[in-house]
Structure 1
Amino acid sequence: MTTAERPEPLDAFRDDRTYLGADHRRNERRTWIVTGICAATLAALVAGGAATRSMALMASGLHMAAHVAALLVAAAAYALARRHAENPAFSFGTGKIGYLAGFANAVVLAVTAVLIGIESIARLLNPAAVDYHGALPIAAGGLLVNLVCIWLLKPTGVSASRNDPQGDLNLSAAHLHLSADAAVSVLALLAIGAGQWLGLGFADPLAGLLAAFLVAQFAWSLLRKAGAALVDINPSPELTAEVRRRLSDEGERVIDLHLWRLGPGHHAVIAVIAAADPKPVATYRARLAGLAGLSHVTVEVRESGEAHGHHHGHAHD
């Protein structure tokens, strides 16, 4: 026998299918503001690096250029996700557009690391005179701007939620770009200081190589996080275990369970339950009510002795 039912939606689960982060509009505004600040800083760094012939400063400027491009991608992703939030063509909403932008930005970071490394090696092999006195205040100014922007884009609210540690990965990617650029700026300052006061000319291109390594590390971390979300790797073993525990509360068997991320702070679950005395689907859905971060639930119930092709009931929301 096959039956199906659809209970009234529970407050814990959503009907709108958008699955955007709770701070989506706020994060979008902040990203556009920081993009403008960084674009102005980029112009100053590139001009200063060219004028002073500092590789460390040019590395900072080169990374800032990639960083501005990354911020533009992040801001555009916010706008695109918001604009198409109600578009039925997106079966599970537009929450993952930010993860796609984060992955793209990780690639930009990786390419930047390679370019900085190549130029730094060239400067080690063919040293060039550096105007340390002129480069120092420019590098310090670049670091100050980075610190201000890092503060502006600090993840808050659901972006830093315990239930979704990755939170708004689009914002995290932009924040990571800023953090990497700040690290490059610190290295530039140290290298310029070593060259000006200690006469260590090799410190400038060496700082460029260290910067390339740090940026590559940031890129790898972001690639792993964004890639995991895009290919639906289980985002929370803890949440999965809690779902399983609740659904098997009265001796039922959870014979199939899938949990994946839909967007910042939003997860979906599909569960198949086998029970000797199956209860209405609404009963099992009610057991999951109150689980933070669980926004879309599909439950199928089977009698323990049923063939795999039959089900007692199913419902989703």
Structure 2
Amino acid sequence: MSTHQHDIAHFQHSHVFDAGNPTGERRTLAVLLITLITMVVEITTGWLTGSMALLADGWHMGTHAAAMGVALGAYVLARRWARDPRFSFGTWKIEVLAAFGSSVALGLVGVAIAVESLARLYRPTAIDTSTAFWVAVVGMVVNLICAWLLHGAESGHAHHGHPHHDDHDHDQHHVHAHEHGHGQAHDHHHAARDLNLRAVYVHVLADALTSVLALVALAGAATLGWIWLDPAVGLVGAVMIAIWAVNLGRASAHTLLDAEPNPNLREQIAHALQSDGDTQIAELHLWRVGRDNWAVIASVVASRPADAAVYHGRLAHIAELAHVNVEVQVCPSCAVHHA
């Protein structure tokens, strides 16, 4: 590498803002395999016994297995393309996109269950309760095991690096600077922001819910002869699944559209940048680039501005900031007058 190239390389840095969740990836694969096996058993038994609740549970597992496959693929692609220059702010949102797709699939499942349950209410179907009951028990146990596996994967693994500072003086009045670090996150927030893992978890919970409702319906049909209870609990399950789908879709959509307000972090940044009493913020753009990592672009003005490195130093203590760009401009008439 020539001296010129080496000098340029000094101002270049990695844009891997999220280290991924390898534990979540491995356990998602395990849950997917378990789900596929149980799905085949439940659909076959539900069809033979005529249980709507059991069929619903089996088909849920099928659609959820597809969603889990998408989630697993998102983990793999985000990891494989982590250093691809096409992704200016990293690949973490591949996982978020998968979570949004899962929310859509989950919503469609809820609609399908509601439609079929209404049809069964109109035309009740006989149920072989004895066989269906025990298969529903197996399905519930499997779902609880899967939920436990995913719960243990929430913390994942955070990668900690050292921030990189680059200060570029373009001219006397216009200065840009960049600061980069990766994985400077708080581990205890990791689970809450892994929307991909959350999507898989919600699918498992939906399966567990339909298993429990299937048991309630089968027990009622066997002891009281209430055949109508089977499709009725199907409707209850459809409503619950729809609520979960909406919540997951809203959370992932907000992230994809960079519409996640973080007033506490924004206030912390503003307070740090304006701590000298002269600097004022003209623009402040803040968005998430990882589970717990944020990027910020700020434009500050001052009558006697400090060097760009000074402003970066004021933000160095904010661990969530993985990418910082500060634009500094002189504005003599913007001087803050104190009473």
TM-score by length of 2: 0.82
Cα deviation, 1:167-211, whole Å, max 9, x if unaligned, reads 111111111111122112111111111111122111100011111
Max radius of gyration: which structure?
A: 2
Higher mean alpha-carbon deviation, 254-263 vs 126-135, is at 254-263
1:229, 1:235 within 8 Å by CA — same for their partners in 2? no
297, 302, 311: which one pairs with 1:275?
302
Query: Comparing 112-121 with 243-252, which one deviates more in the overlay?
Result: 243-252
- How far off is 1:306 after superposition? 7.5
Aligned to 2:311: 284
Could you tell me which amino acid in structure 1 is paired with residue 253 of structure 2?
G
Residue equivalent to 2:248: 222
Establish whether residue 240 from structure 1 lines up as the match of residue 266 from structure 2: yes
Deviation at 1:237, TM superposition (A): 2.1
User: How far, CA to CA, are the matches of 2:145 and 2:262 in structure 1?
Assistant: 32
**For this pair of structures, how many residues does the alignment match?**
296
Q: Secondary structure at the match of 1:263?
A: coil
Contact 2:303 2:333 in 1 (8 A): no
1:124 aligns with 2:151: no
- The aligned residue for residue 156 of structure 1 is 155
**Residue deviations 1:226-265, cap 9 Å, x none?**
1001101135222112111111112221121111111222
Q: Post-superposition shift, 1:57? A: 0.8
- For 2:295 and 2:197, the matched residues in 1 are separated by 21
Q: Which amino acid aligns with 1:177?
A: H
Alignment of 1:33 onto 2:30:
yes
Q: Distance in 2 between matches of 1:58 and 1:278?
A: 68
SS at match of 1:128: coil
Distance 1:304 1:241, change over 3 A: same
Asked if structure 2 preserves the Cα contact closer than 8 Å seen for 1:259 and 1:268, the reply is: yes
Q: Compared with structure 1, are the counterparts of its residues 157 and 73 closer, same or farther at alpha carbon in structure 2 (3 Å cutoff)? A: closer
Q: Does residue 1:212 correspond to 2:211, yes or no?
A: no
Shift of 1:305: 3.5
SS of alignment partner, residue 289 of structure 2:
strand
Name the counterpart of 2:46. 49
Structure 1 pair 63–201 and aligned structure 2 pair: CA distance change class (3 A)? same
Per the alignment, residue 208 of structure 2 pairs with 182
Asked if 1:200 is matched to 2:199, the reply is no
2-side partners of 1:209 and 1:242: how far apart? 47
1:20: how far off?
Answer: 2.5
The separation in 2 between residues aligned to 1:183 and 1:229, in whole angstroms, is 27
Please identify runs of 4+ aligned residues in structure 1 that moved more than 3 A. Answer: 157-166
Quick one: which of 130, 134, 149 aligns to 2:131? 134
SS at match of 1:301: strand
Which residue of structure 2 lines up, in the alignment, with residue 19 of structure 1? Answer: 17
CA distance in 2, matches of 1:218, 1:277: 52
Match 2:321 to one of 294, 307, 310 = 294
Structure 2 match to 1:146: 143
Identity of aligned pairs, percent? 41
Is the contact made by 1:161 and 1:167 (CA closer than 8 Å) also made in structure 2? no
| Structure 1 partner of 2:97 | 100
The unaligned stretches of length 5 or more in structure 2 are 1-7, 159-185, 335-339
RMSD: 2.1
- For 1:101 and 1:21, the matched residues in 2 are separated by 17
Q: Unpaired segments of 5 or more residues in structure 1?
A: 1-5, 308-317
Distance (Å, rounded) in 2 between the aligned partners of 1:115 and 1:108: 11
TM-score by length of 1: 0.88
Matched residues in 2 for 1:30 and 1:267: separation? 27
